[in-house]
Structure 1
Amino acid sequence: MSSVIPFLPLMLGAIAALFLRGWTRNIIMLAAPVVGGLNLMGLEHGVFWSMEFMGYALEPVRIDKLSMMFGYLFHIASLIAVIYALHVKDTVQHVAGLAYAASAVGAVFAGDLLTLFIFWELLALTSVFLVWARRTDRAYSSGVRYLIFQVLSGVLLLAGLLIFAQVNGSLLFNEIGLEHEGIAEVGAWLIFLAFGIKCAFPFMHNWLTDSYPEATPTGTIFLASFTTKVAVYCFARGFAGEEILVWIGITMACFPIFFAVIENDLRRVLAYSLINQIGFMIVGIGIGTALALNGAVAHAFNDVIFKGLLMMTMGAVLHMTGKINGSELGGLYKSMPKTTILCIVGAASISAFPLFSGFVSKSMIMSAAVAEGYDVVWLLLLFAAAGVFHHAGIKIPYFAFFAHDSGIRTTEPPRNMLIAMTIAAVLCVVIGTFPAQTVYALLPWEADYHPYDLTHVLTQLQLLFFSALAFVWLNLRNLYPPELPSTNLDVDWFYRKLIPTFVKRIASAVYATYGQFENAIIAVIKRIIQHSYDTEQDQPKGYFARLWPIETMVVWVAVLLSGYLVVYYI
């Protein structure tokens, strides 16, 4: 095979970025995803570089339509992110970004669980530097919490794969499922939870909303593209058709809406929106039909691009103004008109407007839900679709670029940032307009689907129209939650409020008990001292408290030494 290992071009680009500077580094960084993408085109489906390790067969590189689709996606995403970050002179961000992308590519091409684990951990170690690279106290603390969750996910994956290797005698990464008996079931659930943490399942999602908004403007683009999508790929590979995923996914699609609507930090709004969109993908994987699975991976493909576009526009706003809270922004369309238009394209795409990329993938999942009799799920997905239009399709562009005029006057971001955003915007329109020739051509499963029929188009337009009408009415009536300087807590309330309060009370009780015990011991010691002291004579009482002559003490020393010698020789 003439081609090279899929992740190698990106990893070599990261190593080169560590030592090179200036325009030479920029050229190498741009070339890495381009060469990597061209390398993928030369790969044939199959298993390569197979080997044996401790009696287990390993497949470090396995190529099929599913892994190939994510491989193309990650190279496109890394190219856009590199272009967006060209103005940055920070070596840490460049090296971490490309190494992070290389780890994601290595993970989706891993044919065995051990190789997957290695890249799983590399994803955590490389990505955390994109959070720390902002070099603030909040970013450092958030990065530590992020790393704790990521390492926990890796520990669970390692424990699960060891159990699976012991029970099945194989480490190959194929369909895992949850239908097992005995210790194998424990291993399957450990792997399931490991994937779930990286996928930001409910109650395990806070690492995402905590860390992504604290990363650098350019680092967030990388973060939004890889970690969660690797987890989506792993669920599609290992747990397709597990019904529990349907209900987990619908929960993910719905609950972030309520937090995103009241959130002031616009990048945190997009972080909640990211969980919302992953929910759609998890629902499709849980349904498990060819149409649903195609919809899930197609939506993952599209989400990286349109969510990346929205993250890039908000990163541009942060870069140019130093502000990202909706309460501090507004009126930026006057000085950033190009960024405003690009943001609206991203908003239309994530809201699934016809002729935009979100429409051709989100409708696949919803159609699959109806076809399989998940009527309640379909209704909840409709609610989630309306909600994402509110918080991402309307709120983001409205409060950043329109709403009240904040008085901020700036300029458009650097040219490389505009180029990256334009590429993403063009892809959103091209994919939405010509799905059969673009993303549908890469789909792993055979399924015949035509998004532009009258029913789908009218249903989506009605949903979007009435959602927009609701936003306008609520806004005019002053009922829509205003953008207020605030900090909103969800699951992190447990470790920010409940646990510290609980620990403080326990610590106070322990400290008080220790103080009482210490005082009691001191009182006893004082009584003993007082009892052994003659206050009238002002000297200690008792036989051993007498004042002895020196010769008597010498005799006692001689007696003790003699006794020691006798005991020693006996």
Structure 2
Amino acid sequence: MWTASLPPFVVFFAFALLAPLLKGKLKVLLLLAPLWGGFNLYMTHAEAGGLTWQIGDLVLQLYHVDKLSLLFGYLFHIAAFIALIYSLHVKDHTQQVCGLLYAGSALGAVFAGDLLTVFMFWELLAITSAFLIWARRTPEAIRAANRYVVIQVVSGVLLLAGAIMLYQQTGSLKLDYVGLDGSASWLIFIALGIKCGFPFLHTWLTDAYPLATPTGTLYLSAFTTKVAIYLLARMFPGEPLLIYIGAAMTCFPIFYAVIENDLRKVLAYSLINQLGFMVCGIGIGTALALNGAVAHAFNDVIFKGLLFMTMGAVLTRVGHVNGSHLGGLYKTMPRTTVFCLVGAASISAFPLFSGFVSKSMVMAALLEQDQIIIWLMLLFASAGVFHHAGIKIPFFAFFAHDSGLRPKEAPVNMQVAMGLAAVLCIAIGVNPQWLYQLLPWKLDYTPYDLTHTLTQIQLLFFSALAFVWLNKQGLYPPELRSVNLDAEWFYRKLLPKSGRKVVAMASRVRDEGRQLGTSVSEQLEQREKPAPTGTVTIITRRMAWVFIAMMLLALTSLIF
């Protein structure tokens, strides 16, 4: 059935029901889901189609199409197609079923026309993606998945609360511009910030993504955070606060990525870094910046997915991705090495690779708005990306010292998936108009002018020179077995101390309350005057502080 009114998520959900019945080579039939859905979407025109569902007086729009949702629709179909090819060798049906449901939920969210429909798919995203972490079946992965679910569900609750409050204020649930002008919009903003990995709300990402299965991490890198980027672009474009949040997101992960030993965790930090460029572009709010943000989201799914696939191939063949115990893998995994280099060049924004044609749009938009300090921060972040993702990942995994490991090349289906992503990285970099023509806002931009190209080449050259010099001098942080607490320090150190103080204060209040109760009872029996108000005032004040402290602790625990 080729119909413009068929929501894309229906196709994916239908094939998810079929997936457990397909075994062996019949799993190839799962590729029909993104092919069918993608062709159906291609036949759909912007502002066309629509599907509503009425619940009492409330009308939900399950399917709304415009140029912004179409762009992310195409992206998610491409990502799902590559991920399904990558997972064909996997015998665990759970991963393939949940992968299809997860991709379908992402599509449902970006084609939703109202906030309540977004909420339903928002929570489906959380539940279906968690199974891709649980599927690793290690104690660490199970704990990470449990925590992941709690945080994702809290994000959904905040989104629902904000949507209800917004409906009470405006009488509408339409998915449109909101802006930060009230408590309802702030709740929605925080909900999106959790899923987008805002600073101090990002630890679920760096905790869970490296512990998922190789296939699971590929799916995770493509959908959850990009749905949040889509909603930020639709609901909060031009919000100045996002400029500063995005700039912080580009910079702080660099320091942790440089010293991290687990190379998939390095990529998780790198994912936050790239999200920062998108958030910053949305905050600027001009047509060039918004186009740059969503174009970079498109490219990031492909080149970050490619890097996660290469590390997933290493994990499949070696059993770990610790940089301290890898090296020399290019000898027996040459194709995976080449694919990794393509992904590294793309994320580093080398000219003629996809990252260059989108990241430079955000940088140019900052200069147009005279945001020189933010531009310098993003320039620093770009150099940092080249260090930790462009050089560190391929160098320590495939070159560096010879670890003596001689694993087989990745399975054929993995190589095909990596090859498709690598071709897209190069094709978009060589001919960016293929991507530019899909962008939602009017665009007049040429990436390959002399200024952009020379600036980026100089940045890459001096960044590489710095890496070589630091490495030769023994100053570059070595790959060591370690645990980076990151923002977890605040949760592990400050919260327990705050909790102990709250408990101690509550105990004092309880004791004083008992003493006061005894005193009041004696006074009542003797029919004397009530207790002095000063004591009651002190206790009331302490109770107020206890209540405030407990509320802050509860809110922080929810975020945690």
Common fold, TM-score beyond 0.5? yes
Distance (whole Å) between structure 2 residues aligned to residue 321 and residue 91 of structure 1? 23
Of 368, 375, 390, 2:365 maps to 368
Distance (whole Å) between structure 2 residues aligned to residue 331 and residue 44 of structure 1? 50
* Native 8 Å contact 2:28 2:88 kept in 1: no
2:528 maps to none
Of 295, 298, 311, 1:298 maps to 295
Distance (whole Å) between structure 2 residues aligned to residue 88 and residue 484 of structure 1? 31
Of 443, 446, 469, 1:473 maps to 469
Of 128, 142, 145, 1:143 maps to 145
Distance (whole Å) between structure 2 residues aligned to residue 58 and residue 132 of structure 1? 33
Amino acid paired to 1:409: R
* Cα distance per residue 1:57-104 (max 9 Å; x no partner): 321111000000000000000000010010000011011111000000
**3-state secondary structure, aligned to 1:224:** helix
Of 125, 128, 133, 1:126 maps to 128
Aligned-residue Cα RMSD (Å) equals 1.8
Alpha-carbon offset, residue 508 of structure 1: 9.8
Closer, same or farther in 2 for the Cα pair 1:176/1:326, shift >3 Å?
A: same
**3-state secondary structure, aligned to 1:218:** helix
1:520 maps to none
Amino acid paired to 1:57: V
Q: Within the alignment, does 1:307 sit opposite 2:304 as a pair? A: yes
* Cα distance per residue 1:297-356 (max 9 Å; x no partner): 000000000000000000000100002110011111111111111100000000000000
Distance (whole Å) between structure 1 residues aligned to residue 329 and residue 220 of structure 2? 26
2:527 maps to none
Distance (whole Å) between structure 1 residues aligned to residue 243 and residue 71 of structure 2? 23
Amino acid paired to 1:116: V
Match runs of 1:205-244 below 5 Å: 205-244=202-241
* Native 8 Å contact 1:264 1:484 kept in 2: yes
Match runs of 1:156-167 below 5 Å: 156-167=158-169
* Native 8 Å contact 1:358 1:432 kept in 2: yes
1:155 maps to 157
Alpha-carbon offset, residue 20 of structure 1: 3.0
2:173 maps to 171
**3-state secondary structure, aligned to 2:222:** coil
Closer, same or farther in 2 for the Cα pair 1:376/1:508, shift >3 Å?
A: closer
Distance (whole Å) between structure 2 residues aligned to residue 207 and residue 299 of structure 1? 23
1:544 maps to none
Between stretches 36-45 and 249-258, larger displacement belongs to 36-45
Amino acid paired to 1:464: L
* Cα distance per residue 1:22-59 (max 9 Å; x no partner): 222x1331111111101101223335113433423321
**3-state secondary structure, aligned to 1:177:** coil
Distance (whole Å) between structure 2 residues aligned to residue 135 and residue 501 of structure 1? 33
Alpha-carbon offset, residue 506 of structure 1: 7.6
Distance (whole Å) between structure 2 residues aligned to residue 507 and residue 163 of structure 1? 34
**3-state secondary structure, aligned to 1:59:** strand
Distance (whole Å) between structure 1 residues aligned to residue 509 and residue 409 of structure 2? 63
Alpha-carbon offset, residue 19 of structure 1: 3.3
* Cα distance per residue 1:96-117 (max 9 Å; x no partner): 1110000000000001001000
1:193 maps to 190
Alpha-carbon offset, residue 503 of structure 1: 5.0
TM-score by length of 1: 0.87
Distance (whole Å) between structure 2 residues aligned to residue 506 and residue 86 of structure 1? 53
**3-state secondary structure, aligned to 2:252:** helix
Of 382, 387, 391, 1:385 maps to 382
**3-state secondary structure, aligned to 2:54:** strand
Amino acid paired to 1:342: F
1:86 maps to 88
1:444 maps to 440
* Native 8 Å contact 1:16 1:28 kept in 2: no
Of 258, 272, 276, 1:261 maps to 258
Alpha-carbon offset, residue 372 of structure 1: 1.0
Alpha-carbon offset, residue 398 of structure 1: 0.5
Q: Within the alignment, does 1:42 sit opposite 2:37 as a pair? A: no
Distance (whole Å) between structure 1 residues aligned to residue 76 and residue 33 of structure 2? 12
List gaps (5 residues or longer) in structure 2: 511-560
* Native 8 Å contact 1:6 1:106 kept in 2: yes
2:513 maps to none
Match runs of 1:547-566 below 5 Å: none
Alpha-carbon offset, residue 410 of structure 1: 1.1
2:100 maps to 98
Of 452, 455, 462, 1:459 maps to 455
Amino acid paired to 2:488: D
* Cα distance per residue 1:250-286 (max 9 Å; x no partner): 0000000000000000000000000000000001000
Amino acid paired to 2:254: I
* Native 8 Å contact 1:356 1:433 kept in 2: yes
Of 333, 337, 344, 1:336 maps to 333
List gaps (5 residues or longer) in structure 1: 515-570
1:542 maps to none
Alpha-carbon offset, residue 15 of structure 1: 1.2
1:563 maps to none
2:275 maps to 278
Q: Within the alignment, does 1:416 sit opposite 2:413 as a pair? A: yes
Alpha-carbon offset, residue 13 of structure 1: 1.3
2:516 maps to none
Distance (whole Å) between structure 2 residues aligned to residue 134 and residue 400 of structure 1? 22
TM-score by length of 2: 0.88
* Native 8 Å contact 1:14 1:98 kept in 2: yes
Distance (whole Å) between structure 1 residues aligned to residue 51 and residue 498 of structure 2? 53
Match runs of 1:476-515 below 5 Å: 476-500=472-496
* Cα distance per residue 1:505-559 (max 9 Å; x no partner): 8889999999xxxxxxxxxxxxxxxxxxxxxxxxxxxxxxxxxxxxxxxxxxxxx
Q: Within the alignment, does 1:203 sit opposite 2:200 as a pair? A: yes
Q: Which runs of 4+ in 1 moved over 6 A?
A: 504-514
Bigger-Rg structure (1/2): 1
* Native 8 Å contact 2:9 2:104 kept in 1: yes
Closer, same or farther in 2 for the Cα pair 1:380/1:509, shift >3 Å?
A: closer
Amino acid paired to 1:466: F
Distance (whole Å) between structure 1 residues aligned to residue 280 and residue 58 of structure 2? 34
Of 427, 432, 457, 2:429 maps to 432
Distance (whole Å) between structure 2 residues aligned to residue 507 and residue 483 of structure 1? 41
Distance (whole Å) between structure 1 residues aligned to residue 28 and residue 315 of structure 2? 26
**3-state secondary structure, aligned to 1:144:** helix
**3-state secondary structure, aligned to 1:464:** helix
Distance (whole Å) between structure 2 residues aligned to residue 480 and residue 138 of structure 1? 29
Closer, same or farther in 2 for the Cα pair 1:277/1:510, shift >3 Å?
A: same
Closer, same or farther in 2 for the Cα pair 1:261/1:95, shift >3 Å?
A: same
Amino acid paired to 1:486: S
Distance (whole Å) between structure 1 residues aligned to residue 236 and residue 458 of structure 2? 34
* Native 8 Å contact 2:3 2:40 kept in 1: no
**3-state secondary structure, aligned to 1:443:** coil
Of 45, 55, 61, 2:63 maps to 61
Distance (whole Å) between structure 1 residues aligned to residue 331 and residue 134 of structure 2? 33
2:544 maps to none
* Native 8 Å contact 1:56 1:169 kept in 2: no
Distance (whole Å) between structure 1 residues aligned to residue 63 and residue 240 of structure 2? 29
Q: Within the alignment, does 1:76 sit opposite 2:40 as a pair? A: no
Distance (whole Å) between structure 2 residues aligned to residue 254 and residue 27 of structure 1? 41
Distance (whole Å) between structure 2 residues aligned to residue 399 and residue 274 of structure 1? 19
1:317 maps to 314
